């Protein structure tokens, strides 16, 4: 364990106080014009504004200065796990999130359906965000056409929209304890206007897996050749079976996850949180509030994930991201009515609409408890959070701060 986690584990104590951590995925943004406002600052958020005036605010760097975090490292950091030490590929997170059981030696890969043009040039990395029904139809075709590659079983699963998961099943580990390796370069170049990359093994153990990935890409394109939009696959986030210290053991918390996207459910499951069922689609906030309310008495820590603040940023839709922030603001009174002892609102990374991608910019952090000091911030925005009493923090500082505000940490040392 890292020193901070080990220290917290030794001073954490069980109490009746309740912590609610709300992660507004990709909430940080940028102005579209010089001297303009970010999506957060543009949004009309009377409930967030009122809460900010009663809370402590600051900014959070999830990994480090200038480093753009993926959602996995961003969340691990918020949960207190050093993302430079605890590394997990998105494939395993997605696989576990949809209930796939991984075995030693297996490799899970996160895939995007994509639109390819002439000469395999990528036109759209997300294939127009197809419906979940279309996703399931395409997955069924691939599953039937590619059940194995050169004797290695291949499993294909629906995630949501343009996302899917492939698991390459190991035929067992060798005498050195090695199965299929996961150290492979991405097929997804993460830009349009170029063809997909060839997967390249970064070590000898991963050579076989890279060969399997490249053959899958080739066969998938053949199967989908007549599709007008969903006619290519892009891979990134290869991973084998990860292991993490138990969230419950570190913090003495009975923790629950409320999320819709498989990846976030998978990450919560891997650290030991119980994943609660949620009614409705990913954007149905009412289902998440219902799950939270119905289970409020059963747990003392809740992780509540809100996705669409990120998706709209990735799509470059500034106005729609503003709208999603405003929808959360309308939801906020329902969360406050539960009277959590500590309420945290934070992002796992920034996704400025201007960049249509994750970015390195710090995200705003809000902590509301009865033990906060007087703050200068008047709104929950990037600029106002920069004035807050919490200052600029590392992501791994968040959980100890929440534990302290919930009076769940004993004194350290004599």
DSSP string, 188-239: --SSSSSPPPPP-BSSGGGHHHHHHHHHHHHHHHHHTTT-SS--EEEEEEEE
Q: What are the residues whose beta carbons fall under 8 Å from the beta carbon of 163, sequence distance 6 or more?
A: 94, 110, 111, 112, 113, 135, 262
Place of tokens 């919560």: 268
Q: Do 144 and 136 form a contact (C-beta atoms < 8 A)?
A: no
pLDDT tens, residue by residue, 344-384: 999 999 999 999 999 999 999 999 999 988 888 889 999 99
Q: Do 155 and 82 form a contact (C-beta atoms < 8 A)?
A: no
Residue 1 has a pLDDT of 44
Residue 175 has a pLDDT of 43
Span(s) in the chain for CATH 3.40.720.10: 3-86+244-405
Cα–Cα distance for residue pair 75/81, rounded to 1 Å: 9
Residue 373 has a pLDDT of 84
Residue 365 has a pLDDT of 98
Q: What are the residues whose beta carbons fall under 8 Å from the beta carbon of 184, sequence distance 6 or more?
A: 199, 200, 201, 202, 206, 209, 210, 213, 238
Phi–psi pair at 198, nearest 5 degrees: -85, 135
Other Cβ atoms closer than 10 A to 93: 30
| DSSP letter, residue 184 | B
Phi–psi pair at 257, nearest 5 degrees: -110, 135
Q: Is 173 helix (H, G, I), strand (E, B) or coil?
A: coil
Residue 412 has a pLDDT of 93
Cα–Cα distance for residue pair 241/212, rounded to 1 Å: 18
CA angle, corner 76, sides to 101 and 92, nearest 5? 25
Other Cβ atoms closer than 10 A to 197: 17
Nearest to 325, CA basis, from 44, 19, 37: 44
Which helix (H) or strand (E) segment holds residue 271: the answer is: helix 262-271
Residue 56 has a pLDDT of 96
Place of tokens 């696959």: 233
Q: Do 199 and 125 form a contact (C-beta atoms < 8 A)?
A: no
CATH tag, 3-86+244-405: 3.40.720.10
Q: Longest Cα pair distance anywhere in the chain, in angstroms?
A: 71
Cα–Cα distance for residue pair 350/360, rounded to 1 Å: 7
pLDDT per residue, tens digit, the chain (414 aa), is 457 898 999 999 999 999 999 999 999 999 999 889 999 999 999 999 999 999 999 999 999 999 999 998 999 999 999 999 988 777 887 888 788 888 878 899 999 999 999 999 999 999 999 999 999 999 999 999 999 999 999 999 998 889 999 999 987 544 444 578 889 999 999 999 999 999 999 999 899 999 999 999 999 999 999 999 999 999 988 988 777 889 999 999 999 999 988 889 888 988 889 999 998 766 678 899 999 999 999 999 999 999 999 999 999 999 999 999 999 999 999 999 999 999 999 999 999 999 999 999 999 999 999 998 888 888 999 999 999 999 999 999 999 999 999 999 999 987
Place of tokens 């059940």: 147
Q: What are the residues whose beta carbons fall under 8 Å from the beta carbon of 381, sequence distance 6 or more?
A: 38, 40, 41, 364
Q: Do 271 and 399 form a contact (C-beta atoms < 8 A)?
A: no
Q: Do 240 and 182 form a contact (C-beta atoms < 8 A)?
A: yes
Residue 363 has a pLDDT of 98
Supply the Cα-derived Rg of the chain in whole angstroms: 22
- The CATH architecture annotation of domain 94-239 reads 2-Layer Sandwich (3.30)
Span(s) in the chain for CATH 3.30.70: 94-239
Cα–Cα distance for residue pair 30/359, rounded to 1 Å: 10
**DSSP output for 255-269:** EEEE-SSHHHHHHHH
């Amino acid at each position: 364990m890292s020193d901070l986690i080990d220290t917290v584990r030794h001073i954490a104590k069980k109490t009746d106080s309740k912590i609610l951590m709300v992660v507004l995925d990709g909430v940080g943004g940028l102005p579209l014009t010089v001297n303009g406002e970010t999506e957060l600052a543009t949004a009309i958020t009377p409930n967030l504004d009122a809460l900010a005036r009663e809370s402590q605010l600051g900014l959070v760097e999830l990994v480090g200065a200038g480093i753009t975090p993926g959602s996995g490292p961003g969340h691990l950091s918020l949960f207190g796990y050093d993302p430079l030490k605890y590394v997990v590929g998105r494939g395993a997170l997605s696989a576990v999130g949809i209930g796939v059981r991984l075995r030693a030696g297996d490799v899970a890969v996160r895939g995007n359906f994509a639109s390819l043009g002439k000469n395999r040039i990528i036109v759209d990395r997300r294939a127009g965000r197809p419906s979940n029904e279309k996703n399931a139809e395409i997955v069924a075709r691939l599953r039937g056409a590619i059940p194995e590659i050169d004797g290695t079983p291949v499993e294909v699963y629906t995630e949501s929209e343009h996302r899917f998961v492939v698991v390459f099943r190991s035929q067992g580990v060798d005498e050195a304890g090695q199965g299929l390796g996961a150290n492979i370069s991405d097929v997804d170049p993460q830009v349009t206007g170029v063809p997909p990359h060839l997967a390249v093994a970064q070590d000898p153990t991963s050579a076989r897996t890279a060969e399997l990935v490249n053959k899958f890409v080739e066969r998938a394109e053949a199967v989908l050749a007549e599709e007008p939009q969903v006619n290519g696959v892009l891979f990134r986030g290869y991973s084998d079976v990860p292991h993490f210290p138990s969230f419950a053991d570190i913090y003495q918390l009975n923790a629950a996850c409320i999320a819709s996207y498989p990846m976030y459910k998978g990450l919560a499951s891997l650290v030991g949180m119980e994943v609660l069922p949620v009614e409705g689609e990913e954007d149905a906030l009412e289902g998440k509030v219902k799950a939270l309310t119905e289970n409020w008495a059963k747990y003392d820590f809740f992780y509540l994930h809100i996705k669409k603040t990120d998706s709209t940023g990735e799509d470059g839709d500034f106005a729609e991201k503003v709208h999603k922030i405003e929808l959360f603001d309308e939801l906020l009174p329902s969360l406050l009515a539960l009277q959590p002892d500590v309420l945290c609102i934070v992002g796992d990374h920034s996704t400025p609409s201007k960049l249509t991608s994750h970015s390195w910019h710090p995200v705003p952090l809000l902590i509301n408890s009865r033990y906060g000091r007087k703050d200068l911030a008047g709104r929950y925005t990037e600029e106002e959070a920069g004035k807050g009493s919490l200052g600029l923090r590392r992501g791994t500082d968040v959980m100890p701060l929440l534990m302290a505000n919930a009076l769940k940490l004993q004194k350290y040392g004599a």
